Structure 1
Amino acid sequence: MKAPYKLKELALYFLKLGTIGFGGPVALVGYMHRDLVEKRKWITEEDYKEGLALAQLAPGPLAAQLSIYLGYVHYRIIGATLVGLAFVLPSFLMVLAIGYAYVKAGGLPWMQAVFYGIGAAVIGIIAISSYKLSKKSLGRNWLLWGIAVVVATATFITEKEILWLILASGVVTWLYSTSARTKTRALFISPIILQITTSVTGNEKVLQIGWFFFKAGAFVFGSGLAIVPFLYGGVVKEYHWLNDQQFLDAVAVAMITPGPVVITVGFIGYLVAGFPGACVAALATFLPCYLFTIIPAPYFKKYGKHAAIKAFVDGVTAAAIGAIAGAVLVLGKRQISDLTSAIIALVTLLVLLKFKKVQEPVIIVVAALLGLLLKN
């Protein structure tokens, strides 16, 4: 079937969406449906739904994966590649510019004051995101809630995301939800999965960055915020590349820029190793997302609805939600240092809960101004 649009037109659309698309993954996938399915009719409803299902099943940032799939629909690998680059590039350039300014002015009192307010607001934003994800994804399933609570507790105690526990959550849900025949096979598979190593063999910092962020892209499911606890465990606790305040600032940068939230990896990479670090971190994070989209795409119509696959993803998603909740507690413990920061975080949470149309960048800007007023 011939595409009702040129590849250049689709690439330009995603370049624009990556430049002005605020609101996080849910808003971004909504814009794609409104513009490409309803208004322009470039993509059919069926193709859109299949792309969204694949993006939810595979690890990686949701909005970026859906954009890659929509590029693949009519123009295959070249379309997926160009669209993916067009969607990510604007926000990547923005975080590079902010990273440069941050490094140059990071020691100035006004910059510290700005991020004092922003850091507290980010705690509230992640907390409400965790609440919304829990409500939407866990429902009344006692097993998924149990997994989320266990992983949240483990994340809070160890102050890092435990990869084998998240994979085990998928296996447990798989075993519980599928047939006896599938369970028998899974018993032989799960010990292999749980022995996946997360050690880094390279000595060079850029190689370490590449390997760590590749894992981040390969093992994190769902919302871009799901990557936060994984990143915290690595860049702060394991490698000590950033301190707690710098990490919160990195999350804040992701909130105030359009495009995929996971682009915070570019900012982190820049702080750790400059321009090469930013490029390697972004490429390594998005490469698994790209591969997990274009490789299964031809077969997804046939196998995507398999009960065993869905069960595994449900378990991993529940664990990711638990990890986000645990990360909120860990980061909050460090960031909420006085009554003022506690009030900013609480007000942020209440505003997002009460006024659903208020977008995160607006709150970030207000919190930055408050920080300037209170600390200068």
Structure 2
Amino acid sequence: MDTSRAQHAPGGTAPASRVGFRQALAFWFKLGFIGFGGPAGQISIMHQELVENRRWISERRFLHALNYCMVLPGPEAQQLATYIGWLMHRTWGGVAAGALFVLPSLLILIGLSWVYIAFGDVPLVAGLFYGIKPAVTAIVLHAAHRIGSRALKNGWLWSIAAASFVAIFALGVPFPAIVAAAALAGFAGGRIAPRHFTAGGAHGKAGRSFGPALIDDDTPTPPHARFRWSGLARVLLAGALLWSVPMAVLTLTRGWDDTLTQMGWFFTKAALLTFGGAYAVLPYVFQGAVEHYGWLSAVQMIDGLALGETTPGPLIMVVAFVGFVGGYLKSLFGAQALFLAGAAAAALVTWFTFLPSFLFILAGGPLVESTHGDLKFTAPLTAITAAVVGVILNLALFFGYHVLWPQGFAGHFDWTSALIAIGAAVALFRYKRNVIHVIAACAVIGLAAKMLLP
């Protein structure tokens, strides 16, 4: 690369002529511990570090990869890290980048889940979570507003959102059926009124340059990233083995109806339904983990979401909490190995949740690299995103019900929790405060309320 171009770059420094695997590994490891703020925050960190500061990849190539990740089910920030790691250092680079994005969060959540389930009745811990629960209700409501303001651009999409809300709230329609119906509506709407179903280009086109980059706009696609049918076949075969072998071992050794086997099967399906981010799939996880399988309670699910919000990594890592609590409470390995059962279940559900994300990148990356034009959301995906808004609103109402009426409508209304929820909503909507700050403040208020109020 001609480093003389660096004189036109901000700061006048040239990008590295090459980035070694260990150097990249150190960055991905660091990212796993500082990736707070949800996908927006994580993508912002990667952009600042990789595009602006280190200049490992150009703005246009970065956004090209991001637009592809945005149309996939799964955590887009983790998939983006996998994509860039794969582009720079082949398959192992992608696997390392994606795994290190998740691993710190998994280990932290296993530790926090154990503290929660083992010491949750201790007054200090109970008081903190008393304040956190109403904060989570406000956070989910804010997520519905945030996604809705971006996705619901016309009456057609508002109608799909309203229909999805009625379907899940009043009729109890399963989340996968809502996704399928929304996709069909989007397919039909894209033909009848295409201009109402073109919500693509969410991240726009690259309009800025931060100077020459190691992977620049005109850098040829490296040989390993070029599409080959043989390469696609190898990735698909490896993915099939990585999924089917663990499932076969679980089925043969523990049986199909065993908790671990059902967790593997359930979270495989969940991984393919995460269009629109983690909040979109939470209703499905709730329906399955709480209502169908009974792995944890509704209140525990709310607490798990709060823990997921306060740890680095993708929010969908809340599935690790679900797995830990389910494995722990079901005593899968006996009463003397409760922590081991929880940790094994958390690791297992993480494996089945994230495996498809790696396959989407390693299989689809070469196709994406064959063109550097901007990708756009299809009409079905636009409709799915609209439906997700209605589903998330239902989730917020459900959480609110369990927080404000702990014993059901026949019991008392919790005015303290209501005031905490209102305060959290004002902080999020009016003052745009950081989610972690809101949770921390509400936890302290909840603890104080438990100590001072009868």
Unaligned runs of 5+ in 1: 181-199
Matched, 1:112 2:166: no
Give, in whole Å, the separation in 2 of the partners of 1:339 and 1:159: 29
CA RMSD of aligned residues (A): 2.2
2:72 to 58, 66, 91: 58
Deviation string for 1:120-148 (max 9, x for gaps)? Answer: 1000011111101110122x222221111
Aligned residues with identical type, % of pairs: 32
- Equivalent residue number for residue 416 of structure 2: 340
Q: How far is 1:179 from its partner? A: 8.0
Total equivalences in the alignment? 354
Partner of residue 289 from structure 1, selected from 344, 350, 357: 357
Deviations 1:296-318 (A, max 9, x none): 111125588677x6112111221
Describe the superposition over 1:168-206 as per-residue Cα deviations: whole angstroms up to 9, x where unpaired.
Answer: 2112112221489xxxxxxxxxxxxxxxxxxx9921100
Cα 1:294–1:179 change in 2 (3 A) is farther
Q: In the superposition, relative to structure 1, how do residues 158 and 80 fare at CA in structure 2: closer, same or farther (>3 Å)?
A: farther
Q: Residues 39 and 77 of structure 2 are in contact (CA less than 8 Å); yes or no, is this contact kept in structure 1? A: yes
2:40 is aligned to 26
Alpha-carbon separation, structure 1, partners of 2:59 and 2:18? 14
Within-5 A mapping of 1:266-277: 266-273=320-327, 274-277=342-345
1:359 alignment counterpart: 434
After TM superposition, which residue ranges in structure 1, 4 or more long, deviate above 4 angstroms? 158-161, 301-307
Structure 2: runs of 5+ lacking an equivalent? 2-15, 194-250, 328-341, 406-413
Contact kept, 8 Å, 2:68 with 2:375, in 1: the verdict is no
Alignment of structure 1 residues 144-163 onto 2, 5 Å: 144-158=157-171, 161-163=174-176
Question: In the aligned structure 1, how far is the partner of 2:117 from the partner of 2:72?
Answer: 35
**2:395 matched to 1:327?**
yes
Match of 1:167 in 2: 180
Checking the alignment, whether the CA contact within 8 Å between 1:156 and 1:329 is kept in structure 2 is: no
> Quick check: which has more Rg, 1 or 2?
2
Residue 218 of structure 1 corresponds to which residue in structure 2? 272
Instruction: Sort the Cα spacing of 1:282 and 1:3 in 2 relative to 1 into closer, same or farther, 3 A.
Output: farther
Cα separation, 2, equivalents of 1:243 and 1:160: 20
Do residues 44 (structure 1) and 58 (structure 2) align? yes
Output the CA distance in 2 between the equivalents of 1:153 and 1:7.
50
Aligned-pair CA distance for 1:158: 4.8
User: How far apart are 1:159 and its partner, in Å?
Assistant: 5.6
Following TM superposition, by how much is the alpha carbon of 1:160 offset from its aligned partner in structure 2, in angstroms?
Answer: 6.9
| Contact 1:60 1:220 (8 Å CA) reproduced | yes
User: What residue in structure 2 maps to residue 103 of structure 1?
Assistant: 117
Q: Is the 8 A contact 2:71 2:381 kept in 1?
A: yes
Equivalent-residue separation in structure 1 for 2:115 and 2:186 (angstroms): 46
Q: Secondary structure at the match of 2:132?
A: helix
User: Relative to 1, partners in 2 of residues 1:154 and 1:277: Cα closer, same or farther, differing over 3 Å?
Assistant: same
Secondary structure at the counterpart of residue 378 of structure 2: helix
Q: Which amino acid aligns with 1:278?
A: A
